[in-house]
Amino acid sequence: MASVRRRTWKATSGETKAAWVVDYADSRGVRQRKHYLSKKAADAFRIQVEGQMQAGTYRAAADKVTVKEVCESFLEHCAGRYERDERMTRKMLAVYKGHASNHILHPDHGLGNRKLSQLTARSVGDFRDRLRSAGVTVPTTRKILATLHSALAYAVSQDWISANAAHGTRVIGPRDEGSKKVVPPSKSDMGATLSGADEDLRIKLTFAASTGVRAGEQWAVRWRDVDLESGHLHIGRRVDAYGEEGVPKSAAGVRTVPISSQLTAMLKTWKLRSKFKTPDDLVFPNDNGNHTSHDNLTKRRFGPLFDRLEAAYLRDPTRFPAPPRRFNWHALRHFAVSSWIEAGFAPKTVQTFAGHASLQVTMDRYGHLFPSDDHKRAMDQIAKGLFA
């Protein structure tokens, strides 16, 4: 049990000083002492530590280790995982570092100097509110808190704390902020974009708009992943912005997607033209047979495609059609998913082909695109009973 006593001593200046000391042995039997200026504060800590020791939640390190030290140790741990290729990508490590340095450890609204023992659900909530007041969006705030949660989970694993104070913290913004319902490109816009693209870019666009693969997945596809006879595409790898391959974002990302006869024919022709056609070669390599740089492709070819179509129309509207509404590369994935829904695929099938981790993700993003004939009929039946 803990005890409280008054202690006096002489400082080097000769001045007599006094403090109230809480003296106790931790769960490992190691003696611990905490000094307080008042007996009231010392008694409050004594009651707190005795309760924690009885509940088995006391951790001595919580009074010494700061959030900054946790983040530094956590990032070092993540760097080790990256070096050992233990489900840690360079991009993920960079994101963690950015969240820590730019927000969690920010000198104004961060938590860097706070001791773990001072970190509570309320203090994490206050941190969330400071982020929002600083102009951080709802989705970004959620990602920052997810990084903080991961860092504190690491602290729990090191026995520095017994509970994760960031667990269950919610971020609620205005109804029109945050994740938006997906609005895919129209068929006319997609058709105009494909028509204006050169042959090389057109097959890459068609592949993305038909299979719904993410960009990183598309640039990692090899010929061994494409069954041109049965018409199936296997997704099992992805490449990040650093050109490093790894497994998909989740277990659901490993999947097989059927491909149309039209796309199969285009891929056969593409393979005949390509100088990289062995099973281990990439389907869409750069000129050297290495991974396509998505950033370069979008900046140098995809974006300028819209510029050319718009310039041609402005130059001579009588000869050239109105340009398509601009969209980003990821919208090709949205177009594919919306096409599956329009074709009558069940929600679970859409989830599987899209590689979503859960059906909830699918419905949150695309639920409004599913037909609601059954709901319409139900409403008609209700109306008959009310107004007959």
SS3 string of the chain? CCEEEEEEEECCCCCEEEEEEEEEECCCCCEEEEEECCHHHHHHHHHHHHHHHHHCCCCHHHHCCEHHHHHHHHHHHHHHHHHCCCCCCHHHHHHHHHHHHHHHCCCCCCCCCCEHHHCCHHHHHHHHHHHHHCCCCHHHHHHHHHHHHHHHHHHHHCCCCCCCCCCCCCCCCCCCCCCCCCCCCCHHHHHHHHHHCCHHHHHHHHHHHHHCCCHHHHCCCEHHHEECCCCEEEECCEECCCCCEECCCCHHHCEEEECCHHHHHHHHHHHHHCCCCCCCCECCECCCCCECCHHHHHHHHHHHHHHHHHHHHHHCCCCCCCCCCCCCCHHHHHHHHHHHHHCCCCHHHHHHHHCCCCHHHHHHHHHHHCCCHHHHHHHHHHHHHHHC
* Confidence at 246, pLDDT banded by 50, 70, 90: confident
Residue 31: the pLDDT is 76
**What is d(CA 68, CA 108) in angstroms, rounded to the nearest whole number?**
14
* Structural domains of the chain ordered from first start: 3-58 (no CATH), 67-157 (no CATH), 187-369 (1.10.443.10)
Residue 22: the pLDDT is 80
Least trusted range by pLDDT, from 57-66, 212-221, 270-279, 341-350: 57-66
* Confidence at 180, pLDDT banded by 50, 70, 90: low
SS3 string of 168-188? CCCCCCCCCCCCCCCCCCCHH
Is the confidence at residue 287, as pLDDT, over 60?
yes
* Confidence at 176, pLDDT banded by 50, 70, 90: low
Mean pLDDT of 113-133: 93
Is the confidence at residue 245, as pLDDT, over 70?
yes
Residue 219: the pLDDT is 97
Residue 182: the pLDDT is 85
Least trusted range by pLDDT, from 37-46, 118-127, 251-260, 264-273: 37-46
Q: Which residue has the higher pLDDT, 1 or 12?
A: 12
**What is d(CA 235, CA 351) in angstroms, rounded to the nearest whole number?**
14
Taking the CA of residue 126 as centre, how many other CA atoms within 13 Å lie in the half-sphere pointing to its CB? 11
**What is d(CA 329, CA 350) in angstroms, rounded to the nearest whole number?**
20
Is the confidence at residue 284, as pLDDT, over 80?
yes
For the stretch 334-375, pLDDT in tens is 999 999 999 999 999 999 999 999 998 899 889 889 887 655
Q: Which residue has the higher pLDDT, 54 or 329?
A: 329
The residue written with tokens 């026995």 in the block is 159
Residue 67: the pLDDT is 96
Pull the structure tokens for residue 292. Answer: 């396509």
Residue 364: the pLDDT is 86
* Confidence at 173, pLDDT banded by 50, 70, 90: confident
Residue 58: the pLDDT is 60
Residue 161: the pLDDT is 85
- Rounded to the nearest integer, the mean pLDDT of the chain is 89
Is the confidence at residue 59, as pLDDT, over 80?
no
Least trusted range by pLDDT, from 159-173, 188-202, 214-228: 159-173
CA distances from 343 to 306, 319, 369 (A): 28, 34, 11
* Confidence at 300, pLDDT banded by 50, 70, 90: very high
Residue 134: the pLDDT is 93
The residue written with tokens 């530590």 in the block is 49
**Maximum mean pLDDT: which of 24-33, 249-258, 379-388:** 249-258
